[in-house]
Amino acid sequence: MRIAGKGLIDTSKTVSFSFDGRRIEGAEGDTVTSALLANDIRLVARSFKYHRPRGILTAGSEEPNALVTTGSGAGAEPNVRATMVEIHEGLEVKSQNRWPSLGFDVLSVNDLAAPFFGAGFYYKTFMWPGALWEKLYEPLIRRAAGLGALSGDNNEDRYERAYAFCDLLVIGAGPAGLMAALTAARAGADVILADEDSRMGGRLLAECEEIDGKPGHIWAAEAVAELAGMENVRLMPRTTVTGAYDQGTYGALERVGLHKAADGHLPRECFWRIVARRSILAAGALERPIAFPDNDRPGIMNAGAVRAYLNRWGVAAGKRVAVYGNNDGAHQTARDLMDAGVEVAAVIDSRKDASVALDAPVITGGRVIATSGRLGLEEITVATGSGQERLKVDCLAVSGGWNPTVHLACHMNGRPVWDEAIQSFVPKAGMIPGMEAAGAANGVFSTAGCLADGAKAGEAAAADLGKKASKTKMPKASDSAYRLEPLWVVEGKGRQWLDFQNDVTVKDVRLAAKENYRSVEHMKRYTTQGMAPDQGKNSNVGALAVLADATGRGIPETGTTTYRPPFVPVSIAAMGAGAQGKGFAPQRFTTSHAASVERGAPMIEAGMWYRPSYFPRPGEKTWRQACDREVTMVREAVGICDVSTLGKIDVQGPDAAAFLDFVYTNTMSTLPVGKVRYGLMLREDGHVMDDGTCARFGEGHFVITTTTAAAALVMRHLEFVAQGLRPDLDVQLVSVTEQWAQFGVVGPKSRDLLNDLLDAPISDETLPYMGHQAAQVMGVRGRLFRISFSGEHAYELAVPARFGEALYRVLVARAEMLGGGAYGMEALNVLRIEKGHITHAEIHGRTTAFDIGFDKMISRKKDCVGQKMAAREGMVEESREQLVGLKPVGAVKQLTAGAHIFVEDAQAKRENDQGYVTSVCYSPTVQSFLGLGFLKNGRARYGERVRLVDHLRGVEAVCEVVNPVFFDPEGGRLRG
Partner 1 sequence: MRVVCPHCGERDRREFTYQGAAEILDRPAPEVENDAWADYLHLRENPAGETRDMWYHDPCGAWIVMHRDTVSHAVHGGELASEVRK
- By beta-carbon proximity to partner 1, the closer residue of 720 and 942 is 720
Closer to partner 1 by CB, 615 or 662: give it. Answer: 662
What span, in angstroms and rounded, lies between the C-alpha atoms of 972 and 969? Answer: 8
CB 246 to partner 1: min, Å: 4
Q: Which is nearer to partner 1, 245 or 589 (CB)?
A: 245
Residues 878-917 that bind partner 1 (CB under 8 A): none
Q: How many residues does the chain have?
A: 976
Q: Which is nearer to partner 1, 262 or 715 (CB)?
A: 715
Among 47, 240, 472, 867, binds partner 1 (CB under 8 A): 867
Which phi and psi angles does 532 have, rounded to 5°?
Answer: 65, -175
Find the part of the chain contacting partner 1 (CB under 8 A) among 361-369, 715-723, 848-856, 924-932. 715-723
C-beta of 683: minimal distance to partner 1 in Å?
A: 9
Q: Which of 404, 427, 383, 367 shows the shortest CA–CA distance to 482?
A: 404
Judged by CB under 8 A, which stretch of 246-254, 595-603, 842-850, 949-957 contacts partner 1? 246-254
For partner 1, what does the binding mask look like between residues 272 and 301, x meaning CB under 8 A?
-x-x--------------------------
Instruction: Determine the Cα–Cα distance for residues 800 and 787; give it in Å rounded to an integer.
Output: 19
| Interface mask toward partner 1 for 923-962; x: CB under 8 A | ----------------------------------------
Whether omega before 289 lies within 30 degrees of 0, making that bond cis, reads no
Residue 180 CA: distances (Å) to CA of 186, 405, 431: 10, 17, 19
Cα separation, 740 vs 796, in Å, equals 11
Applying CB under 8 A, among 341, 727, 761, 768 the residue interacting with partner 1 is 727
Centre a 10 Å sphere on the Cβ of residue 371 and count the other Cβ atoms it contains: 22
Binding flag, residue 863, partner 1 (CB under 8 A): yes
Rule CB under 8 A: say whether 464 interacts with partner 1: no
Under the binding rule (CB under 8 A), the answer on residue 141 touching partner 1 is no
Rounded CA separation 154/157 (Å): 9
In single-letter form, the type of residue at position 732 comes to Q
* DSSP designation for 492: S
Among 148, 201, 248, 744, binds partner 1 (CB under 8 A): 248
Residues contacting residue 621 through CB under 8 Å, at least 6 positions apart: none
User: Under the criterion CB under 8 A, does residue 719 sit at the interface with partner 1?
Assistant: yes
Is residue 564 within the footprint of partner 1 (CB under 8 A)?
no
State in angstroms the smallest separation of the CB of 163 from partner 1.
8
Is 516 a residue that touches partner 1 (CB under 8 A)? no
Residue 844: CB minimum distance to partner 1, A: 20
> Of 1-9, 444-452, 716-724, 799-807, which part binds partner 1 (CB under 8 A)?
716-724
Nearer to partner 1, 511 or 722 (CB): 722
Helix (H) or strand (E) segment spanning residue 448: helix 447-464
Q: Which stretch binds partner 1 (CB under 8 A): 112-120, 243-251, 357-365, 518-526?
A: 243-251
Spatial CB neighbours of 960, under 8 Å, sequence gap ≥ 6: 886, 887, 888, 889, 943, 944, 945, 946
CB of 586 to partner 1, least distance (A): 12
**Cβ-based nearer residue to partner 1, 8 or 275:** 275
Task: Give the span between the Cα atoms of 675 and 696, in whole angstroms.
Answer: 6
Q: How far apart are CA 817 and CA 607, in angstroms?
A: 33
Task: Work out how close the CB of 433 gets to partner 1 at its nearest, in angstroms, rounded to a whole number.
Answer: 7
Binding to partner 1, residues 771-830 (CB under 8 A) = none
Is residue 245 a contact point for partner 1 (CB under 8 A)?
A: yes
In the complex, minimum distance from the CB of residue 872 to partner 1, in angstroms, rounded to a whole number:
6
Among 154, 247, 763, 879, binds partner 1 (CB under 8 A): 247
As a three-state string, the secondary structure of 618-682 is CCCCCHHHHHHHHHHHHHHCCEEEECCCCEEEEEECCCHHHHHHHHECCCCCCCCCCEEEEEEEE
Using CB under 8 A, pick the residue from 872, 909, 953, 975 that binds partner 1: 872
Q: Residue 477 or residue 649: which is nearer to partner 1 going by CB? A: 649
**Site residues (CB under 8 A) for partner 1, limited to 430-459:** 433
Q: If binding is defined by CB under 8 A, does position 359 make contact with partner 1?
A: no
Euclidean distance between CA atoms 687 and 408, whole angstroms: 47
Binding status of residue 249 toward partner 1 by CB under 8 A: yes
Q: At its nearest, how many Å lie between partner 1 and the CB of residue 446?
A: 35
Q: Which residues of 124-142 are buried (b: 16+ CB within 10 A; e: fewer)?
A: eebeeeeeeeeeeeeeeee
Report angle CA 893, 898, 900 to the nearest 5 degrees. Answer: 85
Footprint (CB under 8 A) of partner 1, residues 677-706: 684-685
The pair phi, psi for residue 802, each rounded to 5°, is -65, -20
Q: Which of 158, 160, 182, 162 is nearest to 170 (CA)?
A: 182
Which range, of 86-94, 360-368, 861-869, 943-951, touches partner 1 by CB under 8 A?
A: 861-869
If one asks whether residue 720 binds partner 1 (CB under 8 A), the answer comes out as: yes
Amino acid making up residue 735:
S
- Backbone φ and ψ for 45, nearest 5 degrees, come out as -155, 165
Beta carbon nearer to partner 1, 730 or 805: 730
Q: How many residues bind partner 1 (CB under 8 A)?
A: 27
**x/- map, 155-184, partner 1, by CB under 8 A:** --------x---------------------
Site string for partner 1, 407-426 (x = CB under 8 A): -----x--------------
| Residue 639 makes contact with partner 1 by CB under 8 A | no
What residues contact 120, with CB distance under 8 A and at least 6 apart? Answer: 511, 512, 515, 526, 527
Q: Contacting partner 1 (CB under 8 A), which of 229, 387, 724, 890?
A: 724
Instruction: Give the 3-state secondary structure of residue 566.
Output: coil
By CB under 8 A, tell whether 584 contacts partner 1: no
Dihedral of the CA atoms 897, 903, 909, 914 (nearest 10)? -60
Contact call for residue 716 and partner 1 (CB under 8 A): yes
Q: Is 246 in the site for partner 1 (CB under 8 A)?
A: yes
Could you write out the DSSP letters of every residue in 150-204?
Answer: ---SPP----EEEEEEEEEEEE--SHHHHHHHHHHHHTT--EEEE-SSSSS-GGG
Cα gap 155→251, rounded to integer Å: 23
> Least distance to partner 1 from the beta carbon of 161, Å?
12
> Toward partner 1, which CB reaches closer, 488 or 662?
662
Give the nearer residue to partner 1 in terms of CB position, either 5 or 874: 874
To the nearest whole angstrom, how small is the minimum distance from the Cβ of residue 868 to partner 1? 5
| φ, ψ at 269 (rounded to 5°) | -140, 160
Q: Are strands 214-215 and 210-211 parallel, antiparallel or unpaired?
A: antiparallel
Q: Which is nearer to partner 1, 268 or 717 (CB)?
A: 717
CB 472 within 8 A of CB 455: yes
Binding residues among 184-213 for partner 1 as defined by CB under 8 A: none
In this chain, which stretch among 356-364, 481-489, 620-628, 714-722 interacts with partner 1, using CB under 8 A? 714-722
Q: Are 264 and 451 in contact (CB under 8 A)?
A: no
What is the rounded CA–CA span in Å between residue 694 and residue 577? 42
Piece of 183-191, 195-203, 233-241, 865-873 that binds partner 1 (CB under 8 A):
865-873
> Positive or negative, the Cα torsion across 926, 929, 934, 939?
negative
Residues that bind partner 1 (CB under 8 A): 163, 245-249, 273, 275, 412, 433, 684-685, 715-716, 719-720, 722-725, 727, 733, 863, 867-869, 872
